[in-house]
């Protein structure tokens, strides 16, 4: 009983740490992009200010909405938080809840409610965003499953905290390198970044994640944004801890990844929606090779 | 008095509803349904009691001449599933079937009892004869129930298609029984266990059994009857057919594989696994394209049976590699998923019935905003939809998690590149299926229950009567209970499959699986506790720090008022997937101009989309064409002319005489 509570406490502390730094990470990515575009850009703390602003505003609801519309952001944020509790991060020790498949399905719970809410406001844009989100998730899911499979083959567990890269062993293998590249592609797709989705645009025809959140305002919008930023943080932590075969501290890895994402976003355009098939196909093939090479 | 035998008698009493006087129709219905409720309650009780305390002689061991009923752990599980699902669906039917007053309701209720009786009898059969008789009664009764609304042309077509297909399946099973029985002392299951069938005949027996039971459980390519028959039946019948009857096929297949045929041949398991995986993915893809609520659910049944059979096949593969302790996880996964599917599919078909009752249509394109008209039904449906998308805290994820763990187990053992590729294929399929199932049920729920009404039929929708809600409520409660506290279910299933081989699976806070050198934990209670804590925390901060006022205002719609026609449609929602998997689905678009005054305005057109079933087009239709062509070729020798027939007789005699001389 004692070790369960201890592990659970670790889970919660870790999630709080990730939560505290998640907006900073988003701010850093924006800053990198701005500097590369030769702009001054907003402060790296801008996301914190935005959250505070939204938190103080009233909620405006469309008259057609139901309780699902209010429930969805809370569930979405909650799933991001639970996911953050599950990843092996800065704290050493066995986490109590840390199963990889549960991690995937916890995130799916958030997607389930966000896609539902997209249809609740009875507008065309919401449904469009929801439909595309589902489409992308269908393409991403096999890659995620294979990414879990490869680490589970290597470390004989499906517990995320048991899959952390083992620096003592021979960790820099062909298989690890391939999985690393593939998982980076997965991160971009899963977190709605370029070239799959454009997080900056509010142009109806191109947006996916933003389309679903179009009708939200005030604290509910703040929860969704915080949830998304936390999810990004969670995925980068996971990437650093599980897939990036470099022996530097995790915080440095995450920072490098943030810069890399900024660079990738500057260098790429958003691809056509139906080209995402090819993109995710590439990730799946890389993972396939990685598993064969393992 | 044996409780289980008693429950069979109560079913028989309930079946007497058929011959009650017509004046007392409603009384007859209530009496019959109450019999069904009581009897299935008794079945569930004795099944569960048997599983918990196997020593107690609650189950039957009886025989009458060449017919016998016995029970063991394997049938105990399915008897419990039948009892539990039968119980809540019968409660639901108390009110639901009242919609058939004046439409042969006595037959409906009486046959309902017979249906439950025959299912239970199949599960308890102790020899091939009893099995086949009960199996045929089950097929016939379910045919009559599907055909209940015989005024509708589509219903009749679906019912007869079901009849033909199910008899093909029975024929295959008969062949398997014949082959096994003729190589053992008698046709009783106890003797058939010691059959000496081997070589090619054993392969044929396996293939026949697999074909027969796969047909009954709707695996592709033998599924074509299922998406037609399940929607055609009254909703409580669909719930029982999908929730329970499909599992009976799993029961039969399991008995064949475990006891009669064995699992030492590698390709047996491989075949089952591949058919299961492909069925799961294709079915969910077709389901996502449908707009008929019950057809979506029917395809989802094919999907879930596919996952169950895939896990079962994974267990068979592990058995053929002599890894019995690991195969236990796979078989447990198959059974837990079967149990959870009986709950969630029962629940969803009941809510489909409630929605049909309320709006009078199955087409989700005409619904929308039902959550405001029928909040309780909407809540229960949400739980069902979450369970079918394998969301956490529902029984759906318990089964799915174990299935994934069993495939990981197989992966750990997969030394050769071929086996690795197989495992990779399995994970790609499971990933696609999982995500597409989520999309399928988000779409179903979002279009039908959320947003604004898409047509006027929603205006008159109303909440459902008490017993319907009670039935759905029990199912929803069980789905959540089994999802949050999975250990009892998992442990019972595991002890049935494994016995002494068991590896620890249930723990104090969820499922713990540690075999084959890999280790995994899923503790839904802890995660739920954390989630609830967090929810309270968010709510507290929300109330404490925000001004907390909510304004209602119309959505900005570029200066116009939004209309309900501007919402996304169900067809539109599945468009990206339809396009991405267009090579499989091959959608046919038809546009007809009703009026076309000018190229750009004044047009009125009709657009419809058709997605032909891959197997119907590529497999069944060519066979049908060939059969019709060949029979019309044979028609020339049977033209009705008497002199020709006399000629044939003479030719035959000459042939026989020559044969005799030789």
- Closest Cα in chain A, distance from residue B451 (Å): 4
pTM assigned to the model: 0.92
Q: What is the dihedral of CA B234, B235, B237, B240, to 10 degrees?
A: 170
B628 touches chain A (CB under 8 A): no
Task: Locate B301 and state its tokens.
Answer: 């049944």
Show the 3-state SS of B5-26: HHHHHHHHHHHHHHHCCHHHHH
Tell me which residues of chain B, numbers 498 to 517, contact chain A at a CB-CB cutoff of 8 Å.
509, 516-517
Is the pLDDT higher at B201 or at A205?
B201
What's the whole-number average pLDDT of chain B?
Answer: 86
Mean pLDDT over B617-623 rounds to: 86
Report the greatest alpha carbon distance in chain B: 107
Bridge partners of B511, per DSSP, are B506, B522
Bridge partners of B591, per DSSP, are B607
- Residue B507 pLDDT exceeds 90: no
A257 touches chain B (CB under 8 A): no
Query: Mutation test of the interface with chain B: which of A85, A116, A148, choosing the one with the most B Cβ atoms within 10 A?
Result: A116
**Any idea where the domains of chain A sit in the sequence?**
2-293
The answer to whether B511 touches B402, Cβ cutoff 8 Å, is: yes
pLDDT on residue A15: 87
Closest residue to A78, CB basis, from B509, B526, B534: B534
Start-to-end C-alpha separation, chain A: 37
CA distance B11 to B388: 31
> What pLDDT digit, counting tens, does each position of A85-122 carry?
888 876 655 666 778 899 999 999 999 999 999 888 88
Compute the residue count for chain B: 662
> What pLDDT digit, counting tens, does each position of A20-56 carry?
999 999 999 999 999 998 999 888 899 999 999 988 8
Got the DSSP string for B436-451? HHHHHHHHHHHHHHSS
> What pLDDT digit, counting tens, does each position of B407-452 carry?
888 888 877 778 888 889 999 999 999 999 999 999 999 999 998 8
Which range scores top for mean pLDDT: B369-383, B498-512, B524-538, B545-559?
A: B369-383
- Closest Cα in chain B, distance from residue A75 (Å): 8
Contact between B568 and A124 using a beta-carbon 8 Å cutoff: yes
DSSP designation for B595:
E
B661 touches chain A (CB under 8 A): no
Q: Which residues of B touch A122 (CB under 8 A)?
A: 368-369, 450-452, 555, 562, 564, 566-567
Q: Which residues of A touch B520 (CB under 8 A)?
A: 99, 157-159
CA distance A82 to A93: 17
Q: Which residues of B touch A159 (CB under 8 A)?
A: 519-521
CA distance B255 to B264: 15
Query: Mutation test of the interface with chain A: which of B437, B507, B564, B573, choosing the one with the most A Cβ atoms within 10 A?
Result: B573
Mean pLDDT over B625-641 rounds to: 85
Q: Which residues of B touch A108 (CB under 8 A)?
A: 389-391, 434-435, 438
Compute CA distances B66 → A159, B63, B131, B204, B553, whole Å.
54, 7, 11, 26, 74
A279 touches chain B (CB under 8 A): no
**Any idea where the domains of chain B sit in the sequence?**
581-612, 619-661
Contact between B562 and A122 using a beta-carbon 8 Å cutoff: yes
- Residue B136 pLDDT exceeds 80: yes
Got the DSSP string for B77-106? HHHHHHHHHHHHHHHHHHHHGGGGTTSSHH
Residue bearing tokens 């280790």: B519
CA distance B21 to A30: 78
Residue B617 CB-density burial (10 A; 0-12 exposed, 13-18 middle, 19+ buried): exposed
Contact between A122 and B552 using a beta-carbon 8 Å cutoff: no
pLDDT on residue B1: 45
Is the pLDDT higher at B510 or at B585?
B585
Contacts 24+ apart (CB under 8 A), A105-108: A105/B390, A105/B391, A105/B392, A105/B397, A105/B400, A105/B401, A106/A79, A106/A82, A106/B392, A106/B527, A107/A79, A107/A80, A107/A83, A107/A231, A108/A137, A108/B389, A108/B390, A108/B391, A108/B434, A108/B435, A108/B438
B115 touches chain A (CB under 8 A): no
Alpha carbon B447 to chain centroid, angstroms: 23
> What pLDDT digit, counting tens, does each position of A2-27 carry?
667 777 787 888 888 899 999 999 99
Closest residue to B386, CB basis, from A64, A112, A127: A112
Contact between A62 and B554 using a beta-carbon 8 Å cutoff: yes
A44 touches chain B (CB under 8 A): no
Alpha carbon B190 to chain centroid, angstroms: 29
B431 touches chain A (CB under 8 A): yes
CA distance A264 to A262: 6
DSSP designation for B63:
E
Mean pLDDT over B483-507 rounds to: 75
- Closest Cα in chain A, distance from residue B407 (Å): 9
> What pLDDT digit, counting tens, does each position of B260-295 carry?
888 888 889 899 999 999 999 999 999 999 889 999
DSSP designation for B568:
P
A224 touches chain B (CB under 8 A): no
What's the whole-number average pLDDT of chain A?
Answer: 85
Tell me which residues of chain A, numbers 147 to 166, contact chain B at a CB-CB cutoff of 8 Å.
149, 152-153, 156-159, 162
Task: Locate B224 and state its tokens.
Answer: 């074509």
Query: Mutation test of the interface with chain B: which of A65, A73, A80, A102, choosing the one with the most B Cβ atoms within 10 A?
Result: A102
Q: How many CB pairs under 8 A join A and B?
A: 247
- Residue A71 pLDDT exceeds 50: yes
Mean pLDDT over B542-565 rounds to: 78
Torsion-angle region of residue B144: left (phi > 0), alpha (psi -120 to 50) or beta?
A: alpha
Reference A232, options A11, A50, A27; nearest CA is A27
Q: Which residues of A touch B389 (CB under 8 A)?
A: 108, 112
- Residue B517 pLDDT exceeds 70: no
Reference B89, options B32, B146, B40, B142; nearest CA is B40
Contact between A97 and B521 using a beta-carbon 8 Å cutoff: yes
Phi, psi of B244 (to 5 degrees): -115, -45
């Amino acid at each position: 009983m004692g070790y369960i509570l201890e592990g659970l406490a670790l889970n919660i502390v870790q999630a709080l740490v990730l939560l505290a730094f998640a907006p900073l990470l988003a701010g850093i990515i924006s800053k990198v992009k701005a500097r590369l575009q030769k702009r001054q850009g907003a402060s790296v703390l801008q996301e914190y200010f935005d959250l505070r602003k939204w938190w103080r505003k009233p909620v405006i609801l469309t008259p057609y909405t139901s309780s699902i519309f209010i429930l969805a952001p809370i569930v979405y944020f909650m799933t991001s938080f639970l996911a953050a509790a599950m990843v092996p991060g800065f704290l050493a020790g066995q986490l109590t809840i840390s199963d990889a498949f549960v991690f995937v399905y916890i995130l799916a719970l958030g997607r389930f409610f966000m896609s539902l809410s997209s249809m609740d406001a009875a507008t065309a844009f919401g449904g469009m965003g929801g439909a595309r989100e589902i489409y992308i998730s269908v393409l991403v899911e096999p890659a995620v499953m294979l990414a879990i499979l490869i680490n589970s083959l290597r470390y004989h567990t499906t517990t995320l905290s048991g899959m952390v890269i083992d620096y003592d062993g021979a960790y820099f293998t062909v298989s690890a390198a391939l999985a690393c590249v593939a998982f980076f592609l997965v991160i971009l797709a899963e977190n709605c970044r370029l070239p799959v989705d454009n997080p900056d645009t509010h142009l109806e025809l191109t947006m996916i994640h933003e389309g679903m959140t179009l009708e939200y305002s005030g604290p509910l919008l703040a929860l969704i944004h915080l949830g998304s930023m936390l999810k990004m943080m969670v995925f980068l932590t996971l990437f650093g801890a599980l897939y990036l075969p470099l022996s530097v501290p995790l915080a440095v890895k995450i920072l490098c990844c943030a810069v890399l994402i900024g660079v990738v976003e500057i260098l790429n355009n958003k691809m056509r929606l139906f080209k995402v098939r090819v993109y995710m196909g590439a990730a799946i093939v890389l993972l396939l090779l990685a598993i064969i090479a393992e | 008095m044996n409780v289980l035998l008693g429950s069979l008698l109560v079913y028989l009493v309930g079946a007497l509803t058929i011959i009650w006087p017509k004046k007392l129709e409603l009384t007859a219905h209530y009496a019959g349904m109450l019999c069904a409720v009581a009897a299935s309650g008794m079945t569930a009780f004795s099944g569960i009691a048997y599983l918990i305390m196997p020593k107690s002689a609650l189950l039957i061991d009886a025989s009458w001449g060449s017919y016998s009923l016995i029970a063991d752990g394997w049938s105990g599980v399915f008897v419990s599933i039948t009892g539990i699902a039968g119980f809540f669906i019968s409660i639901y039917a108390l009110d639901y079937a009242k919609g058939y007053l004046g439409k042969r309701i006595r037959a409906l209720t009486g046959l309902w009892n017979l249906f439950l009786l025959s299912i239970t009898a199949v599960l308890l059969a102790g020899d091939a004869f009893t099995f086949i008789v009960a199996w045929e009664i089950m097929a016939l009764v379910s045919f009559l129930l599907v055909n209940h609304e015989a005024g509708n042309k589509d219903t009749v077509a679906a019912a007869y298609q079901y009849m033909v297909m199910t008899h093909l399946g029975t024929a295959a099973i008969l062949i398997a029984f014949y082959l096994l029985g003729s190589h053992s002392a008698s046709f009783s299951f106890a003797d058939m266990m010691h059959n000496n069938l081997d070589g090619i005949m054993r392969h044929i027996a396996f293939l026949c059994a697999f074909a027969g039971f796969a047909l009954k459980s709707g695996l592709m390519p033998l599924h074509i009857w299922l998406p037609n028959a399940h929607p055609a039946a009254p909703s409580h019948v669909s719930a029982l057919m999908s929730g329970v009857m499909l599992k009976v096929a799993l029961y039969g297949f399991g008995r064949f594989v475990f006891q009669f045929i064995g699992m030492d041949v590698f390709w047996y398991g491989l075949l089952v696994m591949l058919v299961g995986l492909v069925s799961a993915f294709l079915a969910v893809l077709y389901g996502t394209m449908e707009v008929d609520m019950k057809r979506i659910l029917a395809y989802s049944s094919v999907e879930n049976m596919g996952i169950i059979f895939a896990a079962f096949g994974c267990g068979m593969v592990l058995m053929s590699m002599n890894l019995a302790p690991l195969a236990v996880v796979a078989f447990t996964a198959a059974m837990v998923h079967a149990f959870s599917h009986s709950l969630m599919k029962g629940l969803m078909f009941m809510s489909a019935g409630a929605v049909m009752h309320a709006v009078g249509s199955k087409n989700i394109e005409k619904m929308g905003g039902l959550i405001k008209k029928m909040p309780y039904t909407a809540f229960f449906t949400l739980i069902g939809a979450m369970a079918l998308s394998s969301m956490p805290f529902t029984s759906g994820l318990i089964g799915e998690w174990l299935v994934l763990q069993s495939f990981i187990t197989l992966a750990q053992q997969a030394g050769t590149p071929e086996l690795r590729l197989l495992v990779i294929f399995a994970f790609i399929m499971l990933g696609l299926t999982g995500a597409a199932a989520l999309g399928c049920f988000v779409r179903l729920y979002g279009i039908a229950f959320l947003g604004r009404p898409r047509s006027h039929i929603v205006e008159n929708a109303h909440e459902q009567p008490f017993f319907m809600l009670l039935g759905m409520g029990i199912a929803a409660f069980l789905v959540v209970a089994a999802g949050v506290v999975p250990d009892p279910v998992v442990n019972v299933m595991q002890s049935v499959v494994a016995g002494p081989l068991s590896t620890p699976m249930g723990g104090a806070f969820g499922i713990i699986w540690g075999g084959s050198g890999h280790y995994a934990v899923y503790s839904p209670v802890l995660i739920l506790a954390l989630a609830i804590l967090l929810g309270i925390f968010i709510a507290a901060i929300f109330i404490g720090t925000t001004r907390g006022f909510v304004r209602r205002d119309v959505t900005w719609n570029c200066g116009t008022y939004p209309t309900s026609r501007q919402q996304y449609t169900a067809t539109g929602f599945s468009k990206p997937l339809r396009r991405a998997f267009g090579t499989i689905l091959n959608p046919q678009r038809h546009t007809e101009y009703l009026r076309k005054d000018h190229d750009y305005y004044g047009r009125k057109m009709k657009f419809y989309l058709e997605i032909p079933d891959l197997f119907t087009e590529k497999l069944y239709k060519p066979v049908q064409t060939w059969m019709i062509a060949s029979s019309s070729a044979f028609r020339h020798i049977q033209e009705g002319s008497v002199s020709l027939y006399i000629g044939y007789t003479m030719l035959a005699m000459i042939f026989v005489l020559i044969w005799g001389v030789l």
